[in-house]
Chains A and B, each alone.
Chain A
Amino acid sequence: MSNPELERLRHVWQTLGREDPLWAVLSQADKRGGRWQADEFLATGRAEIDAQVHALAARGWPARHALALDFGCGAGRLSRALAAHFEHVIGIDVSASMIEAARALNRDIDNVEFRENPSPRLDGIADGSVDLVYSVMTLQHIPSQLAAGYVEEFFRVLAPGGVAVFQFVAGADESLRGRFFARVPNRWLNPLRRVAWRRQAVFEMHSLRECDLAWTMVRFPDLSIVAAVEDSAAGRGWHGMRWYVVRDAQRSENAAPC
């Protein structure tokens, strides 16, 4: 692997996946130290996915339910829930230890596969093949340039009539906390996080500007943002967004990404 940022990211999530995978995915203070119950953890994924899938279905998206991609699947919380709505689900994650945890937690589900993806691209996922790309609480932990590349990959793999749903941090807000986040880089915040979380491996927060994603869409003339809503998943101080991007069902070969 030649990308140092990706290598660093992988190292952090490998460690977190080994130490406390469920808390690393859903970082509630009272669940630190292996205190998530598997059923309780998985129920959060079911609630989220059921609500999202039903809301999308009401607007006719996605056109088919053949393949869903859970990007940054962690321990497979959402992949498992997606399996109830799609013929096949691929959960991918940068961390091998997370993938191990996901496989262990979802042994009883046979239409989900988990893949380690230590690459800045979505290797092994064909162009225009995925009906639902789903990613929450993942892009916000990935350095901006890498994250923007992954969003471009979401657009590449999205099938005609498919929808990409992804949450990201668009920036810090103007609150006191947000101004602090905006001015203090991760390399200064990390020591504080290590103290607060009492662990060496800590995940960072990174923002992805909406305007950069809009410029990426110039290359995909058959994609439309059908909704862009605020999303508070990143916590206070951050301006989080969730985009819903749809590929025209009538996609022709000529309309493929330039």
Chain B
Amino acid sequence: MHIPKTAGSAFREILSRHFGTRFLLDYDDRPLAPGFRWRRFGQRVRPDESLLDIERDFDCVHGHFVADKYDRLEKPARCIAWLRDPVRRTVSHYHYWKRVPDLRNPDCRALIERKLSLEEFAALPRMRNVMTRFFGGKQPEDFFFLGTVETMAESLARFHRLTGIAVDAMAGDRADETEYAEPSPSARQAVERLNRSDRELYDKVGAMLAR
């Protein structure tokens, strides 16, 4: 499960190299775009046969979707994801959309056309607690692997120990190498306040990894 701006693009390369033709990209759901609830409803009522096709043809699915999307597979799937400090994730998302606009998304259009500030962008309802929403009803304990961008090297080493997948080529999210200016204290505070669930989630995972 690729949560936007959590090093997913670089990680995708690792998975793609490992799984080859049995690697499926699933970016159709667009969980941050309007109408997602309907798309999600459609997934829940779709016949099991479509999942069986996926199970037959692929060993790994990567993309922007809510974590429980593949819960109905015949064999239980191992769910893995990366997290990022909620403020840094939001800042990265803000700058990324300014640099590479997704004009299908009304929030992105608003950001560009109305020249939203970071606080205004973070206050858009669909931009709040993004990580929590991607988790759906799942808890961190339900994931086979969770890494954090802030502990990239350790997380990758653990991923390798758990899966045997070679990780040597991943140095960071290439789409996000730009160093952004630190948000002002007031902006940081505002983003924190708007992402309380994500902060709790991120801190919980941090505590689980520190045990």
Contacts and interface: CB of A to CB of B under 8 A. Distances in A.
Interface of A: 170-171, 173-175, 209-212, 214-215, 217-219, 221, 223-227, 230, 239, 258
Given A214-B145, A215-B141, A258-B211, A173 B161 contact: no
B81 to A, nearest CB: 12
4 nearest CB pairs, A to B:
A224-B161, A174-B74, A211-B144, A214-B144
B72 A174 contact: yes
Contacts of A221: 157-158, 161
Interface in B136-166: 141-145, 157-158, 160-164
Interface of B: 48, 72-76, 78-79, 141-145, 157-158, 160-164, 208-209, 211
Nearest to B52: A174
Contact of B48 (A173, A174, A212): A174
Nearest to A171: B76
Contacts, number: 51
Nearest to B78: A210
Contacts of A227: 164
Nearest to A170: B76
B164 A225 contact: yes
6 contacts: A173-B74, A209-B142, A211-B144, A215-B141, A225-B164, A258-B211
A218 B74 CA distance: 28
User: Considering residues A210, A211, A215, which has the most beta carbons from chain B within 10 angstroms of its beta carbon?
Assistant: A211
Contacts of B164: 224-227
A210 B143 CA distance: 9
A216 B75 CA distance: 22
Contacts of A210: 76, 78, 144
A215 B144 CA distance: 7
Nearest to A226: B164
A175 B208 CA distance: 34
Contacts of A224: 160-162, 164
A171 B73 CA distance: 12
A170 B75 CA distance: 10
Contacts of A226: 164
Given A214-B145, A215-B208, A239 B76 contact: yes
A223 B78 contact: no
A239 B144 contact: no
A221 B162 CA distance: 10
B74 A211 contact: no
A256 to B, nearest CB: 14
A239 B72 CA distance: 13
Given A211-B142, A212-B141, A258-B211, A217 B76 contact: no
Contacts of A171: 76
B209 A218 contact: yes
B162 A225 contact: yes
Given A218-B211, A221-B161, A224-B161, 16 more contacts: A171-B76, A173-B75, A174-B73, A174-B74, A209-B142, A210-B76, A211-B78, A214-B144, A214-B145, A214-B162, A224-B160, A224-B164, A227-B164, A230-B75, A239-B76, A258-B211
A211 B72 contact: no
Given A174-B48, A211-B141, A225 B163 contact: yes
Contacts of B211: 218-219, 258
A31 to B, nearest CB: 30
A135 B161 CA distance: 21
A217 B141 contact: no
A211 B79 contact: yes
Nearest to A174: B74
B126 to A, nearest CB: 28
Contacts of A219: 211
